[in-house]
Amino acid sequence: MVDTQAKNCQSFDVIIIGAGAAGLMCALTAGARGRSILLLEHNQNPGEKIRISGGGRCNFTNLNIQPSCFLSENPHFAKSALKQFDQHDFIAMVERHGIKYHEKAHDHEHTLGQLFCDGSSREIIDMLQKECKAAKVDLRCAQTVTSVTHHPENTDAPYLVETEAAIFKAQSLTLATGGRSIPKMGATSFTYEIAEQFGLNIIRPRPGLVPFIVDASALGLEASLAGLSQFATAQFENTSFSENILFTHRGLSGPAILQISSYWRDGEPIYLDLMPDKNMAEYLVELKKTRSKQRPKSALGDIFPQRLAEALVDKHLPSEQMANIPDRDLIKFGKHLNHWRIKPKSSEGWVKAEVTCGGVDTAELSSKTMEAKKMPGLYIIGEAVDVTGWLGGYNFQWAWSSGWCAGQVV
């Protein structure tokens, strides 16, 4: 039994561990209801992932939020929270604080709905802190939690949280410490460990929104294309994303690759369509008729970056005029361009992953309140839960939505 007299033991209605996006939202929401809130953060400052997000401008939500834009063992789990507090609710908060924002421009026909601060991501952190201050939230940073225990015999405050400096007790406990992505920002397995301590199941965490390591041999090219970007469709099984891909010194990155990485499984291939709007087999055969004296590198340089056109042609076609290349070779090459099979060696792992896939099993939680079914008074929110959004503000919206739902009832 913890000796609550050994250190100064303070009592609160709610203790929230983790002052990231979800924790801050939960704290300000619960505090606004008159609950006494202790918000503990192990970093020196709150909202560190918010600060670095979106190139320092924070892609804080997306206009196109739909439950289908989230991965989970239970694809229906996110529906309730996203409906209770949606993107328009968060946008209203941003506007109430006078924060200027914009939708990211896109080169192609469809817009991606990504909303960014005109200024700095610091504005979102300041907004959340102001709301917490108004709600009298007790925010304490640089606090390392050393143990979390549950004492049902203490019916008024069964949860005990011990730090290196003090012991705190509360009626309810919310875990909001995120997943394992970006360890340099202090990411750990803390929530998984506490959840398992209380008998909750964990869906194996794995890196999401992460670049691929691809050997040169797996790309099937003689020359490096590092630094080159190309609009393409990246596909894994029945899921695909059409955005830019980026060739790197280690393999592949860019929005389409990051998106598909959350669905990818180790050892499996992905497929790239380098020209999603064209049947390249038909296009090349037609090009042979209209530009017969040109060489393929020159002809393809009109629709691909020249370095990409040269690398692909060097590997797949002879250095001949188009007129001298058999149709069957052009058709085979065209099919390759629309269906390029690539087998990544691995992902770049936790260091480069933007989010964590997997986490606390949604079967353990109420989709309406985020409360653990086996542990009354225990709530788990944000990235630590087995709900992972697409690239483009979706994961922040999950943090806002799940944090708000828990904040309504803790």
Tens digits of residue pLDDT in 355-387: 999 999 999 999 999 999 999 999 999 999 999
Whether residues 89 and 217 share a domain: the answer is no
Whether residues 319 and 217 share a domain: the answer is yes
**Contact residues for 382 (Cβ-Cβ < 8 A; gap 6+):** 18, 20, 21, 22, 23, 176, 178, 398, 399, 402, 403
3-class secondary-structure state, position 257: helix
Write down which residue in 347, 378, 393 finishes a domain. Answer: 347
pLDDT in tens, 299-321: 999 899 999 999 999 999 998 99
Residue 108, pLDDT score: 60
Residue 220, pLDDT score: 85
> Does a structural domain hold residue 263?
yes
Mean pLDDT of 171-183: 94
Confidence of residue 182 (pLDDT cuts 50, 70, 90): confident
DSSP 237: T
Percent of residues, the chain, with pLDDT higher than 70 = 97
- Rounded to the nearest angstrom, the gap between the alpha carbon of residue 213 and the centroid of all alpha carbons in its chain is 19
Number of domains in the chain: 2
Confidence of residue 4 (pLDDT cuts 50, 70, 90): very low
Query: In sequence order, what are the beta bridge partners of 70?
Result: 389
Whether residues 199 and 216 share a domain: the answer is no
Residue 30, pLDDT score: 98
Nearest 5°: CA angle at 153, between 150 and 159?
Answer: 25
For residues 285-317, one letter each, b for 16 or more C-beta atoms within 10 angstroms of the residue's C-beta and e for the rest, the string is bebbeebeebbbbbbbbeebeebbbbbbbeebb
Residue 7, pLDDT score: 52
Residue 216, pLDDT score: 82
Dist CA 217 CA 224 (whole Å): 11
Write down which residue in 347, 365, 389 finishes a domain. Answer: 347
Pairing of strands 251-253, 346-347: unpaired
Residue 74 is part of which domain span? 9-207+352-407
Residue with tokens 């080159």: 228
Confidence of residue 330 (pLDDT cuts 50, 70, 90): very high
Q: Are 251 and 345 in contact (CB under 8 A)?
A: yes
Residue 157, pLDDT score: 96
- Rounded to the nearest angstrom, the gap between the alpha carbon of residue 105 and the centroid of all alpha carbons in its chain is 20
Q: Which of 125-134, 184-193, 214-223 has the lowest mean pLDDT?
A: 214-223
Residue 218, pLDDT score: 85
> Does a structural domain hold residue 4?
no
Percent of residues, the chain, with pLDDT higher than 90 = 90
Confidence of residue 1 (pLDDT cuts 50, 70, 90): very low
Whether residues 372 and 241 share a domain: the answer is no
pTM of the model: 0.94
3-class secondary-structure state, position 312: helix
Whether residues 221 and 198 share a domain: the answer is no
Confidence of residue 107 (pLDDT cuts 50, 70, 90): low
Whether residues 82 and 57 share a domain: the answer is yes
Whether residues 68 and 197 share a domain: the answer is yes
Dist CA 298 CA 275 (whole Å): 17
The answer, yes or no, to whether residue 177 has pLDDT greater than 50, is: yes
Residue 187, pLDDT score: 83
> Does a structural domain hold residue 3?
no
Dist CA 250 CA 211 (whole Å): 9
Q: Are 102 and 115 in contact (CB under 8 A)?
A: yes
> Does a structural domain hold residue 161?
yes
> Does a structural domain hold residue 322?
yes
The answer, yes or no, to whether residue 350 has pLDDT greater than 80, is: yes
Whether residues 169 and 79 share a domain: the answer is yes
Confidence of residue 39 (pLDDT cuts 50, 70, 90): very high
Whether residues 227 and 318 share a domain: the answer is yes
Q: At 324, which CATH number? A: 2.40.30.10
Residue 6, pLDDT score: 44
Confidence of residue 38 (pLDDT cuts 50, 70, 90): very high
Residue 209, pLDDT score: 98
**Contact residues for 302 (Cβ-Cβ < 8 A; gap 6+):** none
> Does a structural domain hold residue 1?
no
Dist CA 244 CA 391 (whole Å): 13
> Does a structural domain hold residue 191?
yes
> Does a structural domain hold residue 2?
no
Write down which residue in 347, 377, 399 finishes a domain. Answer: 347
Mean pLDDT of 238-244: 96
Whether residues 340 and 366 share a domain: the answer is no
Whether residues 157 and 242 share a domain: the answer is no
Pairing of strands 138-140, 114-117: unpaired
Q: Which of 104-118, 244-258, 384-398 has the lowest mean pLDDT?
A: 104-118
Which has the higher per-residue pLDDT, 255 or 110?
255
The answer, yes or no, to whether residue 347 has pLDDT greater than 80, is: yes
The answer, yes or no, to whether residue 2 has pLDDT greater than 60, is: no
Whether residues 136 and 268 share a domain: the answer is no
Residue 105, pLDDT score: 76
